[in-house]
Amino acid sequence: MITGALWEKDVFGQYLFAPAFFWEDVVSFGVIALHTLYLAGLIFGWMDDRTLFVITLFAYATYVVNAAQFLLKLRAARLSAPASRQAEALS
């Protein structure tokens, strides 16, 4: 999250929630919240093992969604890059 925020600042001029990466940042905060909830429940004994396990599953499922968002955006950028290069070559 820290390196991503630094990259967003360098590329888009703001640390988080740049329009191009808004939803990725929202889901990243969900991942952080779920992992924090798990750690708090574990450290302070607020939850039984089954609840901690369910929170862990949700946390990692959310992380997979976050990674998929990134990969889909990367794929879309790579697919659109050759078309933009061809248009530049023609002009």
The tens digit of pLDDT for each residue in 18-77 reads: 888 888 889 999 999 999 999 999 999 999 999 999 999 999 999 999 889 888 888 887
CB 2 within 8 A of CB 32: no
Q: How many domains does the chain have?
A: 1
> Does residue 26 sit within a domain?
yes
> Does residue 7 sit within a domain?
yes
> Does residue 88 sit within a domain?
no
> Does residue 91 sit within a domain?
no
> Does residue 49 sit within a domain?
yes
> Does residue 86 sit within a domain?
no
> Does residue 84 sit within a domain?
no
The reported pTM is 0.73
CB hemisphere CA count around 39 (13 angstroms): 6
Distance between CA atoms of 76 and 51, rounded to whole angstroms?
38
pLDDT for the residue 88: 60
- Domain interval for residue 10: 2-79
Distance between CA atoms of 80 and 74, rounded to whole angstroms?
10
CB hemisphere CA count around 34 (13 angstroms): 19
> Does residue 55 sit within a domain?
yes
